[in-house]
Structure 1
Amino acid sequence: MIALDGATVSSVFRQLERVPDDATHLVLSAGGNDALWMAGNIFAQETTDVRTSLQRIAELLAEFTAEYRQLIRDLRELRLPLVTCTVYDSVPGLDSAEATGLCVFNDTITRTAFEFGTTLIDLRTICIESSDYSSVSPIEPSASGGGKIARAIIDALSDGHDFRRVVG
């Protein structure tokens, strides 16, 4: 319960020192705000060809991937069962270019989850209806979406859960 709204992967490192000594499990949902930041940098730039745009995305993604992988390494050092979450992509008002951009973040999150043996909750398959998102801030889950996410977390943390299994 140390999550901060608006946090990026880099700011999660600072939250690690606040993990209580009696913690039994860790759940990480990070990357969405990084994607928002990247979108602001990518969509604001003019390019003359697709290759140049893809190269810029690759450069920014390489930074995110290195940082995300290091975060997972640091979390694994805590020796607690770890659940990671993808970034949901059915946000109302998200255009096709933005949804496509999220794929590269989710690819990093998914690959890292499998590489490090974390349980993966795929929010892309859980929050799929517009009612799953807040009408005030559509990048935030609504009560309905929050309930779906909470149920997926409870399932992932349930006794006997295989922490190498994909949930979602």
Structure 2
Amino acid sequence: MSNVVLLGDSVFDNAAYVGSDPDVVAQLRRTLAGSGTATLLARDGAVTAGVLDQLTRLPDDATHLVVSTGGNDALRESSLLQARAGLVAEILTRIADIRDGFRRDYRAMLAALKDTGLPVLVATIYDPRFSEPLQRQLSTTALSFINDVILREAFAHGVDVLDLRLVCSEDADFANAIEPSSRGGEKMAAAIASYAAGLPLAGSQVLIR
């Protein structure tokens, strides 16, 4: 029997945003029924460094680790998107500093995950659904720097990647601009359950091994 542990932020800990509809962990438990269960250690508002604390509560029967983090790391730097435009070099230097800080935290997290000896699946950050076109464009562009770190570090550490930009690809997959709806959660749960079962993913469920 598998016990899939969800780590990270509100992408998985989304109960506060779906009302009476099932959250991600409930949908995953239902999908895994008969073959395993799921444990939620992810916490709304957590940043990448916080995953290390979540790992201290890892259950003894954990079989798979699935992590979605980075969105809140980016969110705390979102003031950059409202800053007055200046020299391109100044803006890119600031973005590079943010990227490099995130890389350090992400590497430390991946090292701790690998130390558990369990299979690890990390998720990219999906594209936000802000209603204002320019805000959506700017935030998606900024997140591409964070997603590049996730992909590069995941490959370097030999862990699998679930690309949530392709899984949660429709407005209906979101409860608000940055949180998954129950529909989005259902898509993620299906992909994670397939991963835990060792099955190939199809359609909008995109896994990079």
Question: Cα distance 1:133–1:47, how it changes in 2: closer, same or farther (>3 A)?
Answer: same
Identity %: 38
Q: 1:118 aligns with which of 159, 168, 171?
A: 159
Give the superposition deviation at 1:29: 0.4
| Aligned-partner SS, 1:95 | helix
- Alignment check: 8 A CA contact 1:90 1:127 kept: no
Structure 2 residue identity aligned to 1:119: D
Q: Match for residue 29 of structure 1?
A: 68
Give the superposition deviation at 1:44: 4.0
Q: Match for residue 103 of structure 2?
A: 65
TM-score of the pair, normalised by structure 1: 0.89
List gaps (5 residues or longer) in structure 2.
1-39, 201-205
Q: Match for residue 191 of structure 2?
A: 152
Alpha-carbon distance between aligned partners in 2 of 1:167 and 1:144, rounded to the nearest angstrom: 22
- Alignment check: 8 A CA contact 1:156 1:167 kept: no
Q: Match for residue 87 of structure 1?
A: 125
1:101 aligns with 2:145: no
Alpha-carbon distance between aligned partners in 2 of 1:92 and 1:60, rounded to the nearest angstrom: 22
Q: Match for residue 51 of structure 1?
A: 89
Alpha-carbon distance between aligned partners in 1 of 2:198 and 2:144, rounded to the nearest angstrom: 31
> Residues 6-52 of structure 1, C-alpha deviation per residue, up to 9 Å, x if partnerless?
11101111111011111111000000111111222x12433521110
Structure 2 residue identity aligned to 1:53: I
Could you say which structure has the higher strand fraction?
2
Alpha-carbon distance between aligned partners in 2 of 1:92 and 1:144, rounded to the nearest angstrom: 18
| Aligned-partner SS, 2:56 | helix
Written as runs of structure 1 = structure 2, the 5 A alignment for 1:7-26 is 7-26=46-65
Give the superposition deviation at 1:97: 1.1
Question: Which segments of structure 1 move beyond 3 Å, counting only runs of 4 or more?
Answer: 44-47, 165-168
Quote the RMSD (CA, aligned, Å).
Answer: 1.9
- Alignment check: 8 A CA contact 1:13 1:71 kept: yes
Alpha-carbon distance between aligned partners in 2 of 1:146 and 1:167, rounded to the nearest angstrom: 19
Query: How many pairs are equivalent?
Result: 162
